[in-house]
Amino acid sequence: MNERKLNDYNEGILRKMYLMLIPMTILNVLLACQATLVDSFIVSRLLGARAMAALGIVSPLMSFFWVFINVISNGATVFSGKCLGRGDMDRLNGSFTMCLTLLTAGGLALGILLGLFHGPVARLLGATEELAPMAEAYILGLAISAAGIALSGPLNSFLLFDNQKKMTFVSMGIMVVMNVVCDVLFAKVLGMGMFGLGLASGVSYYCADIYNLSYFRKKSSPIHLDRKLINWKDLPEIVRAGLPVASMELCHFLRPVFFNRILLRFAGVLAVAAYAAEGTLASFFGSFCGGVGGLTLTVGSVIAGEEDGASLNRFAKVVYKYSLLIFVVVFALFFLFAGVLVRPFCGGDSEVLALATKACRCLAIGLTLNVLVMITVRFYQALGYGKLVSVLNVLDYFVFPVAWGMLLAPGMGADGAWAALILAEASTLAVILILLAIRLKRPKFTLQELIQFGHSFDVPAADRLDTTLYSMEDVIGISQFVEEFCRDHGLNRRTAMLSALAIEEMAGNIVEHGFADGKKHAVDIRALCRGKEMIIRLRDDCRPFDPKQQLSAGSSDDPGKNVGIRMIAALSKDMTYQKLFSMNVTTIVLDTDAAAGK
């Protein structure tokens, strides 16, 4: 009997991945809203409070863009994440190509419609006679920008899959610099006003899109464009996966329309300008919530594709813990310095500044609660609970804030509308907890039950072996555990020995080559018994080590080189390697009948 203790399945690799990727995902969200941030600053400094109010009236239109974009873009992200988890790169690249094709066509069509009907759209958004000319001009500029805005979402999201940190930073730099330069040039120097601001957004997006496409057009890139791989039969699944986030963006579009009307009626036009200023900082600080939500959705989809419930639970611990630690501090600073931060967007109007400062402080509290809502709901989306996610999005981003605003604003004015920002998040959290308690028929629950909404999709504990290795000693020690695991599941002696050899050889190579840089590393091992197959997965955070490339790089004149890998490749049913975010993942599938020589 083996008396050596098996290491617990550790969260270290997933924690390292989270801390590395969270800045990139936040930047991805900031890229989507950079036009609003830059335009708000330029308008407040150059065109005044009335123009700021007009921008606030039109700002929901960007959310309307993202309704259309996210049905396809987020749907493709979820679908591709599961393909990545299964190792199906052809379907991933096909869905990516399909996504860009649809968004290009849709962006052009949407731009034409906005160009033709920019006047009625401005009035539909609530523009008064005073604000309509400026609102219409800005919409006309955005119409020319529509295709560029549509493409930016998926291009930046898929850079995350390939862990292209440098490209993400450069892309954001291009967008911000081009937007600032063109805003000043078009709006001030050339006297194009609000139309110039909308047009400048398009120029910035188009420039960044061209830069990003230069990477995805290369066939050598793991994720690349390939029209031959498009499978239109995947489209319904992509749309279903994207609809929940689209419901959130639709509510982002509708909520300001109703809020602006509430504020105009009970607090006046300056409150609308204050709400527009608050909305600018909401775009910036909301990107922290959106970033952690995007990371949860992307990584959660990959783990769901791997059917690895244990890793999902470990990832959830990392996300909740570190997101709260980081973002509570960020939002506390936002609360304390709200007046200073919002001042540049208030056009020098002291009354607007006072109103916007109160709004921002309520927003800071609401965003702290939204972190919890966002993480939980994105786990539900990654696991396929689309209807539940859509309901929660509609409640959180539209029903609750508008309902609380309508209830409180008549008696409290603008203060009542700002308070609604906090009460909406608290109400959504309460709904999640109540629904989970009803499902479980008890008020207490575990983290696993929270993120999986009372379900479980993992392999039964008796049919899997999970551990983390930290040294060559651990590698040698794992062999006996694997052999015992195989025998306990009735597998033949040859399969047990081959399984132990596969883990010892592959993990040994990772430790020998990957741990040599002196940094702290780990190797996660998962062994599954599924029918007549033994599935072994190794996941590490070292430099890339592709066993197939190692074989092809070996000389045919040296038959003794890589003999262990050669034997495993010859005897296994399948052996794959993937670079997932910052992790290396090697999967080996052994057919027990073949291993027994049947």
- Residue that terminates a domain, selected from 448, 470, 498: 448
Percent of the chain with pLDDT over 70: 91
Give the DSSP H or E segment for 523.
strand 523-530
Residue type, position 216, single letter: F
* pLDDT, tens digit, 9 for 90 and up, residues 13-60: 888 888 888 887 777 777 666 666 677 777 777 776 777 777 777 777
Q: Do 408 and 504 belong to one domain?
A: no
List pLDDT tens digits, range 508-547: 888 888 888 888 888 888 888 877 778 888 888 888 777 7
Is residue 5, in this structure, part of any structural domain at all? Answer: no
Answer whether 222's CB lies under 8 Å from 164's CB.
no
Mean pLDDT calculated for residue range 160-174: 79
On whether residue 130 sits in a domain, the answer given is yes
pLDDT at 5: 56
pLDDT on residue 587: 85
Query: Chain-centre distance of CA 517, in angstroms?
Result: 31
Of 97-106, 287-296, 325-334, 457-466, which range is least confident? 457-466
* Contact residues for 206 (Cβ-Cβ < 8 A; gap 6+): 145, 147, 148
Q: Is 454 helix (H, G, I), strand (E, B) or coil?
A: coil
Which neighbouring-strand residues pair with 105? none
Range of the domain at 202: 12-448
Angle between helices 165-183 and 132-161 (to 10 degrees): 170
Which residues does residue 577 pair with via DSSP β-bridges, in sequence order? 586
* One domain for residues 481 and 409: no
Q: Is residue 429 part of a domain?
A: yes
Instruction: Say whether both 465 and 439 belong to one domain.
Output: no
Rounded to whole angstroms, how far apart are CA atoms 326 and 26?
A: 13
Query: Chain-wide mean pLDDT for the chain?
Result: 83
Per the structure, how many domains does the chain have?
Answer: 2
Whether 340 maps to a domain, the answer reads yes
Contacting residues for 379 by C-beta, under 8 A, at least 6 apart: 296, 300, 312, 316, 451, 452
CATH number at residue 537: 3.30.565.10
| Domain-located, residue 530 | yes
Q: Does 557 score more than 70 pLDDT?
A: no
The last residue of a domain, from among 407, 427, 448: 448
- How much is the pLDDT for 526? 86
Give a three-class secondary structure readout of 145-201: HHHHHHHHHHHHHHHHHCCCHHHHHHHHHHHHHHHHHHHHHHHHHCCCHHHHHHHHH
Q: Which is more confident, 549 or 514?
A: 514
Q: In Å, what is the CA distance from 352 to each residue of 126, 355, 358, 414, 433?
A: 20, 5, 10, 11, 37
Residues 403 and 524 in one domain: no
**How far is Cα 275 from Cα 355, in angstroms, rounded to an integer?**
8
Q: What is the pLDDT of residue 331?
A: 94
Name the pLDDT band for 3 (thresholds 50, 70, 90). very low
Q: What tens digit of pLDDT does each residue of 120-166 get?
A: 888 887 777 778 888 888 888 888 888 888 888 788 778 877 777 78
Summarize the confidence of residues 424-443 as an average pLDDT.
94
> How many angstroms separate the CA atoms of 143 and 198, rounded?
8
